[in-house]
Amino acid sequence: MDITERKRKERQLIVHTVVSLAIFAAGWLFLPILTEKILLGVVLVLIAGALYFSNNTGRYVCKRVLLALLTVFIISAITFFAMNAIPGGPFSKEKAPSAAVQAVLEERFHLNEPVGKQFILYLEGLMQGNFGVSTKTGREISTTIFDSFSISAQLGGYAALLAVVLGVLFGSIAALNRAKAADRIIIFFTTLFVAVPSFIMATLLLLVFCLQLNWFPIFSADNQSYVLPVVALMLSPMSYITRLTKTSMLDVLGQDYIRTARAKGVSQWLVIFKHALRNALIPVITYVGPMTAYILTGSMVVESVFTTGGLGTKFVQGITNRDYPMIMGTTIFLATLMVTATLLSDLVYKLVDPRIDFD
Amino acid sequence: MSEYNPNVPPKKKPFSLQLDVAKFEPATDEEKAQQDVMRESTTFFRDGMRKLFRNPLAVGSMIVLIVILVTIIIAPLIVPYSYSNMITVNGKRDKSAKNLPPFTYSKLEQQAIDNGEKIFPHIFGTDELCRDYFIRVIYGARVSLAVGFFASLIVLFIGLLYGSIAGYAGGKTDLVMMRIVDIIYSLPDTLMVILLSVVLDQLLGQRLQNTVLASIGPNMLSMFAVFGLLYWVGMARLVRGQILTIKNNEYVLAARAMGAKRSRIIRKHILPNCMGVIIISTALQIPSAIFTESFLSFIGLGVQAPMPSLGSLANSARAALQAYPYKMVFPAVGICLIVLSFNLLGDGLRDAFDPKLRK
């Protein structure tokens, strides 16, 4: 492939990615104004795109976005029908309301309709940002989710950022000091941290630094210290990124172009930052999707341990209370986030590494 | 014709092209000794085992795992307490034996000891329901390890079957089977595990009563079901990839030319050749299953109430973290030790048996 053609392809890839992502992001950011007809239109455009583009890039992007949409749909279907299979309706408690009240309630929540129709109604609600009403608290689930998610998003955001920055830093240090003391120490701790589940890490941190040493206050509404929850969430992904960076950095440092750069007299720091690190970071990008999933699920237990009142806490409360609409809404919301993160990290991976074959 | 004498070389005829045997001399004993086989020729398996036993981390983790296994098998035979019942002194339930620190006795037990009776010490103390904590941790480790092994076996069985069929059949069958795998693979696994555990718990709970399976508990069964439904896809992909590369080897072609059946080729030629990779990934599946089990137990979806698991013990220790921190430490150390040992053993196996990593 000659240079101009590659440049053209790269430019095309960027344009396609941006357009598709804009469509996708618009879909999920503006949930309330997205109706099923617009979504249908988007899907049709994407299918047309997948069939139309003769080059692999466009087809790949369209296919991946379609697969992501399909995954979200399947998750919603599994969640809905699984929850529907549970015996007993939301109003069949010990103190059953009178038949007339029950009829009104069923009418209001469309429980008298067939299951298929209920599912379509639920999907329509989802697209307008309506996740239903909690059976325990009676509040709108969407407000609960969006209120509590701001805390989880902050926690998760800090954790992800720190995990990537520190992971890359430690990984590079380990690779550059191969088989020396620094490398040994870093690898020892990362091997250890990978084996510690986040809830154990959270509880031990709480025990040592909050209760025994009193270095940090216990998390409460007016005293929000994010340090310990972020550390508990961050350590395991950081360790994974450290190992990933170390392996790929060692791989890159053995390449010919690094030797060429050194032979030309390029300074050590320039070699590391400009030539080695940029290529060594590529595998880290693929880990961003799984890391998001890990942090979102990890935050359920970490937030319960520190009682931060974020989405994780609410989800676990929902599970303990068997609050089915709440479990459904949160599952679909978190799953959508995870699928989007995986999609983004895969697309960016293809974008930054032109050596990768599409399909 | 003269008599044949083996010690005298035959005479060379003048125009013959034969080698002149008279120019050769017999090998000395020393030279013959050089031809002796000093060591048996090594096989792939034996070579791998030698490498494995030379790796101190792998040997250390094997020793730790064996010690843990022996302890959890033998300890219930020695320790005279049960995991589900209160401690009794002379047939009387001992209500004073609540939340004892390690190696201490309650008032009733102290009286009994003063009367000259022997009482087995509470190595880890007792819990809030006056049960011996050591035996609970032992049973918890039993449950966690059992879940890890069985879940990995389920994953191995389904993944092996599915992957080998898809890989060997190829063509459209492969395409369809792998699209299904792609979709399951893109589902966020932890969320789906939580969802299905909630649902199956409710669905199976009533039906299981008064059956053999009731003692295992609906949560455990649903966990296995979830592993069988979701976690096999990684294994299926791995097996398929291995088979696709092995399928094109000459010996498979030869077997097919001789008219061997498909099932025979899979059993005799293909599976033995991808066994190494499969065993390694099964070994690495065990800690991830233990991780998932302890996570689910921690958020209250794990094993049935009197039965402990390391995750549920850690969860219940959280309630009185400040007063009895050691109750948190024992199960936490247990989980970390088991997961760490399996991780290190898996890494050692990979270094020893994966030919791609051989230098």
B65 touches chain A (CB under 8 A): no
Nearest to A331 among B195, B339, B343 (CB): B195
Higher pLDDT, B176 or A101: B176
Let me know the angle formed at the C-alpha of B315 by B319 and A328, rounded to the nearest 5 degrees: 110
Share the mean pLDDT of chain A.
79
Buried b / exposed e along A242-262 (16+ C-beta atoms within 10 A)? bbbbbebbbebbeeeebeebe
pLDDT value at A17 more than 80: no
Q: What phi and psi, each to the nearest 5 degrees, are found at residue A8? A: -60, -45
Nearest to A82 among B196, B311, B321 (CB): B196
- Residues B289, B227: contact at Cβ < 8 Å? yes
* CA of B160 vs chain A CAs: smallest distance (Å): 24
Would you call A194 and B186 a contact, using CB atoms and an 8 Å cutoff? no
B192 touches chain A (CB under 8 A): yes
Would you call A301 and B298 a contact, using CB atoms and an 8 Å cutoff? yes
A307 touches chain B (CB under 8 A): no
Over residues B211-251, the pLDDT tens digits come to 666 666 677 777 788 778 888 888 898 888 888 888 888 88
Q: What pLDDT score does A197 carry?
A: 85
B195 touches chain A (CB under 8 A): yes
Say which residues have a Cβ less than 8 Å from residue A2's Cβ, sequence separation at least 6.
Answer: none
pLDDT value at A222 more than 70: no
Residues A9-38 have a mean pLDDT of 63
CA distance A162 to A235: 9
Higher pLDDT, B311 or A94: B311
**Distances in whole angstroms, Cα of residue B340 to Cα of each of A113, A202, A299, B51:** 52, 18, 22, 20
pLDDT value at B127 more than 70: yes
- Residues B183, B157: contact at Cβ < 8 Å? no
* Shortest CA distance from A290: residue in chain B: B188
B18 touches chain A (CB under 8 A): no
Would you call A304 and B183 a contact, using CB atoms and an 8 Å cutoff? no
Question: What's the ipTM?
Answer: 0.75
Instruction: Residue window 252-281, chain B: list those with CB within 8 Å of chain A.
Output: none
Question: Residue B258: pLDDT band by 50, 70, 90 thresholds?
Answer: very high
Contacts of A191 in chain B (CB under 8 A): 340, 343-344
The residue among A60, A199, A315 with the most chain B CBs within 10 A of its CB, best to mutate, is A199
The residue among B199, B230, B286, B356 with the most chain A CBs within 10 A of its CB, best to mutate, is B199
Higher pLDDT, A152 or B40: A152
Higher pLDDT, A257 or A220: A257
A210 touches chain B (CB under 8 A): no
A204 touches chain B (CB under 8 A): yes
Instruction: Residue window 243-272, chain A: list those with CB within 8 Å of chain B.
Output: none
Place of tokens 């150390």: B333
Residues B336-345 have a mean pLDDT of 90
Share the mean pLDDT of chain B.
81
A232 touches chain B (CB under 8 A): no
pLDDT value at B104 more than 60: yes
Angle between helices A181-194 and B325-353 (to 10 degrees): 110
Would you call A331 and B191 a contact, using CB atoms and an 8 Å cutoff? yes
A297 touches chain B (CB under 8 A): yes
Q: Which of A335-349, B57-71, B153-167, B213-227 shows the lowest per-residue confidence on average (mean pLDDT)?
A: B213-227
Over residues A111-130, the pLDDT tens digits come to 777 777 778 778 777 777 77
Nearest to A197 among B196, B291, B344 (CB): B291
A97 touches chain B (CB under 8 A): no
The residue among A73, A198, A203 with the most chain B CBs within 10 A of its CB, best to mutate, is A203
Question: Residue B282: pLDDT band by 50, 70, 90 thresholds?
Answer: confident
Q: Which of A157-166, A168-177, A310-319 shows the lowest per-residue confidence on average (mean pLDDT)?
A: A310-319
Would you call B314 and A203 a contact, using CB atoms and an 8 Å cutoff? yes
Contacts of B298 in chain A (CB under 8 A): 197, 199, 301
* CA of B339 vs chain A CAs: smallest distance (Å): 6
Which long-range contacts (C-beta less than 8 Å, at least 24 apart) are formed by A63-70? A64/A343, A64/A346, A64/A347, A65/A20, A65/A23, A65/A24, A65/A343, A67/B182, A67/B183, A67/B186, A68/A24, A68/A339, A68/A340, A68/A342, A68/A343, A68/B186, A69/A42, A69/A43, A70/B183
Q: What pLDDT score does B290 carry?
A: 87
pTM of the model: 0.78
The residue among A188, A200, A292, A297 with the most chain B CBs within 10 A of its CB, best to mutate, is A200
Residues A24-48 have a mean pLDDT of 62
What secondary structure does DSSP assign to A290-351, as a single string? HHHHHHHHHHHHHHHHHT--SHHHHHHHHHHHT-HHHHHHHHHHHHHHHHHHHHHHHHHHHH
Residues B278-285 have a mean pLDDT of 85
Q: What pLDDT score does A163 carry?
A: 93
pLDDT value at A359 more than 50: no
Question: Residue A354: pLDDT band by 50, 70, 90 thresholds?
Answer: low
Nearest to A196 among B198, B298, B336 (CB): B336
Q: What pLDDT score does A337 carry?
A: 87
Question: Residue A356: pLDDT band by 50, 70, 90 thresholds?
Answer: low
Nearest to A211 among B187, B294, B321 (CB): B321
Task: Count other C-beta atoms under 10 Å from residue B247's C-beta.
Answer: 17
* Shortest CA distance from A209: residue in chain B: B322
Over residues B300-315, the pLDDT tens digits come to 777 767 778 888 888 8
Quote the strand ranges of chain B, DSSP E.
88-89, 92-93
Would you call B325 and A191 a contact, using CB atoms and an 8 Å cutoff? no
Contacts of B328 in chain A (CB under 8 A): 203-204, 207
- Residues B220, B303: contact at Cβ < 8 Å? yes
Instruction: Residue window 293-332, chain B: list those with CB within 8 Å of chain A.
Output: 294-295, 298-301, 311, 314, 318, 321-322, 325, 328, 332
pLDDT value at B359 more than 90: no
Residues B118-137 have a mean pLDDT of 77
Question: Residue B2: pLDDT band by 50, 70, 90 thresholds?
Answer: low
Q: What pLDDT score does B341 carry?
A: 92
Over residues A264-307, the pLDDT tens digits come to 988 888 888 888 888 888 888 888 888 888 888 888 888 888 87
- Residues B290, B147: contact at Cβ < 8 Å? yes
Angle between helices A3-29 and A56-85 (to 10 degrees): 30
Give rounded-to-5 percent helix, strand, coil for chain B. Answer: 70, 0, 30
CA distance A162 to B87: 48
Q: What phi and psi, each to the nearest 5 degrees, are found at residue B93? A: -70, 130
* CA of A219 vs chain B CAs: smallest distance (Å): 15
Determine whether A150 is exposed, middle or buried from the number of CB atoms within 10 Å of its CB (0-12, 13-18, 19+).
exposed
Contacts of B183 in chain A (CB under 8 A): 67, 70-71, 74
Would you call B188 and A67 a contact, using CB atoms and an 8 Å cutoff? no
Nearest to A86 among B199, B291, B335 (CB): B199
Over residues B24-72, the pLDDT tens digits come to 888 888 888 888 877 777 777 788 888 888 888 889 999 999 999 998 8
Q: What pLDDT score does B64 carry?
A: 92
Would you call A206 and B187 a contact, using CB atoms and an 8 Å cutoff? no
Task: Count other C-beta atoms under 10 Å from residue B1's C-beta.
Answer: 3
A335 touches chain B (CB under 8 A): yes
Would you call B199 and A195 a contact, using CB atoms and an 8 Å cutoff? no
Take residue A315 and report the two structure tokens written for it: 């989800």
B230 touches chain A (CB under 8 A): no
Let me know the angle formed at the C-alpha of B208 by B203 and B212, rounded to the nearest 5 degrees: 150
CA distance B298 to B291: 10
Take residue B62 and report the two structure tokens written for it: 């094997």
Contacts of A75 in chain B (CB under 8 A): 187-188, 191-192
